[in-house]
Structure formats: structure tokens, C-alpha cells
Amino acid sequence: MKTLLRESLTTSLNLLAFSVIGAALLVLAYNATHAAIEASETASKQALLAQTLPQGGFDNDLVRAARPVPADPLLGLKRPGLAYPARLGGAPAGVVLEVVAPDGYSGEIRLLVGVLADGRIGGVRVTAHRETPGLGDYIDIAKGNWITQFVGKSAQEPGAEGWKVKKDGGRFDYAAGATITPRAVVKAVYGALRYFEAHRAELLQPTEASQP
Amino acid sequence: MISTETREIIVNGLWKQNPGVVQILGMCPLLAISNNVVNALSLGLATVFVMALSNLAVSLARNFIPHAIRIPVFILLVAVLVTAVDLFLHAYALSLYLVLGIFIPLIVTNCIVLARVEAFASKRSALHSLLDGTMMGLGLTAVLVVLGALREAIGKGTLFAGLDMALGPWAKDWVVHLAPGYDGLLIAILPPGAFIGLGLLIALRNVIEARRA
């Protein structure tokens, strides 16, 4: 009985020792990479956000200006998302909204929609999707220019009837054989524009953090 | 020059006991990430790195690991190494990290890593274990790359697409377009293409072995 007790004790101490060594190594690795990870994440997010607004159309740090937006069906969000107010020389220039198209062919399509202060689209980018490779993935800027046709459109132009793919009588192109994907994206972008119209004042108003 | 034992380890890893087409271990990443050459090669090399280091670590620690709890300790060591690789990729190769995504942490559960640690490194010297891990990893990488090339060529008509994500924008011109105007056969890129391709590779290896015998 005593040997059994001693054996299980030494075994567990042994496992504990390995765990401590492992944890210590991970602390070292984390500390060595933490700053670089944060910097590269912020840089790539900034680069992506900048693509949704015209070049030179803003001069503030979008990532730092980010503020929470409550979940709203127009944005397709089930949880609160983020809005990135853009400013040029201190004046509101527009806002980048996080938008989800919930009805893609293979689940959610996550988007960033840049809306200029006058309600026109500055740009749209897909940040995450699971659409069929080679078929529905042309919504990704890496695979095609489809996503750029939103630039300059607004909720009034082309209007509710026009905010559909051509197959449904609207104004937006789609690729034959993959209609569900563009249909979901068009609907989500139009939703974002209507959300912007409804909340224009609060979305454009300056954040406390960006005040000097 | 090189001893018979060393040679045997090399031949086993690359051909005789190849993890991809003979042991059929580590299928999850093999099937999921072999849709083009760059993904396949990147995940393959990350696996080589993890296998070599985990074999080395286990071999060095083998006399301190009680037999009864060896498997948890092995997993712990492998998990630490994989997490470190994951952190360094995230920090210094973000676009590659985004492509490989979940498959880096999944190397922990890749049975080939645990299989080599248990079957080889826990009984053999550190240097031989390091070599075994490297060779087994390279064997798996070779299968991954051949399968990735096969699927990418048939599925998309290109080779090395996305190399710029791994190496930087200057590699963008390296993409090879095999036949102009060829749109690709979608099934090769989709999961069934991985199973069919791997089946063909296993068959090919068996034919070569049968011819030699």
C-alpha cells in the first residue's frame, strides 16, 4: 500500500514537473512573439479597412477609432460588431461597418462595408467566407473584381429594386452557376446602407477618443 | 560513411514506412490542406519541424518519463512545440498563418507525430530520433506536395499559386499556368479529389514495390 502511494505521488510530481517546464517554455514563446503578433494583426486590419475607403479619403487611425455597434438585423450581426469612423482633417468622412451576410451558400460571409459621409459606398471587402472554391469565391478580391462594382452606389441609386443581382431584376452582375453567393452579398451591402441611413448622425459623430 | 542504422531510418521515413502512403497516418491535414503546392509544402515543413523537435525532446527526456504516464507527457511536449510554432508563424508570417489556420494546432493531434514519438523516440538515442522525425516528416511532406501538385494542376491548371503569401509579393510571378484557357476540374480541389488522388498515389507506390520484388 505504501509503495503504491509513493509511486503515484512520484508519478504525479513527475507529470507536474513536465507541465511546469512546458508552461515556462510557452511563456517564453508568448513573450517573444506577442508584440509582433499584435503589430502584424493591426497592420493587416488597417490595410483591409483602407481598401474600403477611397485613397486619401481619411487621415485617422481607423483601428483606434473603432467603437462598438449593437447587434442589428440590417447588419446581419448576432453579436455586437464594430464600426470604424473615418475622418479627414477632423471632419467626418465616412464609416466602415462590420457586416455579415448570413445566407451565403456555405454559411456566413463576413464583410467590411465602407460608407462615405454622403451615403455612397467607398468599397466592400470580404473578410471571411466558405463559398465553393472556383465557383462562389469570386466575391473575394483575390479571385476577381466583382466586389468593386459596389463602389459609388448608394441606397437611393439604384434603389430597392436595383439592389438585386441581374437574374432577380436588379443591377448587379453575378456568375452563372453561383447566384446564391452574390445574392447574399448584395443583400447584406444594401442592409448596411439602410443601417447607415437610419443611424447616420451617431455613426458619423466624433468619438471621444479622437477628440484632441 | 553512414551506418546501416542511419540508412535504414532514412529509407523507412521516405519510402518503406512512408507515413502518407504506407502507414496512412496523419490523414486529416494530408487530405485537407493538399489543394495546392504552397499550402501542402508549408504545412509539410511545419510538420517536419514539429516531428524533429518532438522526437528529439522525447528522446532526451525518455529516462525521466515514467512508463505509466508516458502518453500524457508526450502529448504535453508535442503540444508545447506546436503552440510555439503557431505563435511564431502568427507573428512573422501572418498571411501563411491565415491560410494554414486551424491545421497548425491540429498537428498536435496528428497521429504520425505521436506514433513516431512512442514507437521510436522513446527507445532510441537523441540523434537517431531527430533523424527519424525529420525523415518521417519529409516523407509525409513529399506525399503532401505530390498530391498538392496533382490537385492544383488538374483542379486549377496552375502550380505554385499563392507562393507570394508564403514568401512575399516578389514571388507573385512564379505562378506557373500550365495550359492557357484551362479552367480546371473543380472536383480535384474539393475534398473528394484528395481521396481519389491519395488512392492513386498509394496504388502507384504498390505497383512500384510489386515490380521491384
**Cβ distance of A134 and B87 shorter than 8 Å:** no
- Helix, strand, coil percent values for chain B (each to nearest 5): 80, 0, 20
- Residue A118, Cα to own-chain centre: how many angstroms? 22
Instruction: Answer whether 0.90 is exceeded by the pTM.
Output: no
Enumerate the domain spans of chain A. Answer: 62-204
Residues of A with CB under 8 A from a CB of B: 10-11, 14-15, 18-19, 22, 25-26, 29-30, 32-34, 36-37, 40-41, 44, 132-135
Interface contact B39, partner A, CB < 8 A: no
Contacts of B161 in chain A (CB under 8 A): none
**Is the separation of the CB atoms in B51 and B134 below 8 Å?**
yes
The more confident residue out of B183 and B3 is B3
Mean pLDDT of all residues in B19-47: 84
Contacts of A26 in chain B (CB under 8 A): 80, 83-84
Q: How far apart are CA B112 and CA A33, in angstroms?
A: 28
- What is the band of B100 on the pLDDT scale with cuts at 50, 70, 90? confident
**CB neighbours of A62 closer than 8 A, spacing ≥ 6?**
A46, A49, A50, A84, A85, A86, A96
Q: Give the pLDDT of residue A211.
A: 42
Beta bridge partners of A100: A110
- The SS3 of residue A110 is strand
Q: How far apart are CA A139 and CA A127, in angstroms?
A: 10
Nearest to A30 among B35, B87, B155 (CB): B87
Mean pLDDT of all residues in A53-64: 87
Q: How far apart are CA B136 and CA B49, in angstroms?
A: 11
Q: Give the pLDDT of residue A212.
A: 41
Mean pLDDT of all residues in B105-117: 86
In Å, the largest CA–CA distance within chain B is 61
Distance from CA of A162 to the nearest CA of B (A): 31
Contacts of A47 in chain B (CB under 8 A): none
**Is the separation of the CB atoms in A98 and A203 below 8 Å?**
no
- What is the band of B171 on the pLDDT scale with cuts at 50, 70, 90? low
- What is the band of B166 on the pLDDT scale with cuts at 50, 70, 90? low
Q: Give the pLDDT of residue B164.
A: 67
- The SS3 of residue A109 is strand
Helix H or strand E encompassing A121: strand A121-128
Helix H or strand E encompassing A107: strand A107-116
**CB neighbours of A28 closer than 8 A, spacing ≥ 6?**
none
Q: Give the pLDDT of residue A43.
A: 84
Contacts of A29 in chain B (CB under 8 A): 83-84, 87-88
**Is the separation of the CB atoms in A129 and A149 below 8 Å?**
no
Mean pLDDT of all residues in A49-64: 88
Q: How far apart are CA B116 and CA A97, in angstroms?
A: 49
Mean pLDDT of all residues in B148-167: 79
Contacts of B90 in chain A (CB under 8 A): 33, 37, 40
**Cβ distance of A29 and B77 shorter than 8 Å:** no
Q: Is the pLDDT of residue A210 over 50?
A: no
Find which of A128-137, A145-154, B24-33 is predicted with most confidence, using mean pLDDT.
A145-154
Reading the block at residue A155, the C-alpha cell is 441606397
**Cβ distance of B186 and A134 shorter than 8 Å:** yes
Mean pLDDT of all residues in B101-129: 87
**Cβ distance of A26 and B80 shorter than 8 Å:** yes
Q: Give the pLDDT of residue A208.
A: 52
| ∠ CA A116-A122-A123, rounded to 5° | 145
**Cβ distance of B91 and A40 shorter than 8 Å:** yes
Segment 78-137 of chain B within 8 Å of chain A by CB: 79-80, 83-84, 87-88, 90-92, 94-95
Exposed/middle/buried for B190, CB within 10 Å: 0-12, 13-18, 19+?
middle
**Cβ distance of B83 and A40 shorter than 8 Å:** no
Q: Is the pLDDT of residue B26 over 90?
A: no
Q: Is the pLDDT of residue B148 over 60?
A: yes
Can you tell me the ipTM of this complex?
A: 0.74
**Is the separation of the CB atoms in A142 and A156 below 8 Å?**
no
Mean pLDDT of all residues in B8-20: 88
pLDDT digits (tens, 9 = 90+) for B65-92: 888 889 999 999 999 999 998 898 888 8
Segment 147-206 of chain B within 8 Å of chain A by CB: 155-156, 184, 186, 189-190
Nearest to B69 among A11, A34, A135 (CB): A11
Exposed/middle/buried for B95, CB within 10 Å: 0-12, 13-18, 19+?
middle
Q: How far apart are CA B201 and CA A62, in angstroms?
A: 50
Residue showing cell 496523419: B26
**Is the separation of the CB atoms in A108 and A101 below 8 Å?**
yes
User: Alpha helices, DSSP H only, in chain A?
Assistant: 2-50, 62-65, 159-162, 180-204
Reading the block at residue B88, the C-alpha cell is 511564431
Q: Give the pLDDT of residue B172.
A: 67
pLDDT digits (tens, 9 = 90+) for A100-116: 999 999 889 999 999 99
Interface contact B73, partner A, CB < 8 A: yes
- What is the band of A1 on the pLDDT scale with cuts at 50, 70, 90? low
**Cβ distance of B66 and A10 shorter than 8 Å:** yes
Mean pLDDT of all residues in A17-36: 93
> Which contacts of A94-98 are long-range, i.e. CB under 8 A and separated by 24 or more positions?
A94/A53, A94/A57, A94/A58, A94/A122, A94/A204, A95/A196, A95/A203, A95/A204, A96/A49, A96/A52, A96/A53, A96/A62, A96/A122, A97/A69, A97/A192, A97/A195, A97/A196, A97/A203, A98/A69
Compute the residue count for chain A. 212
Q: Is the pLDDT of residue B140 over 70?
A: yes
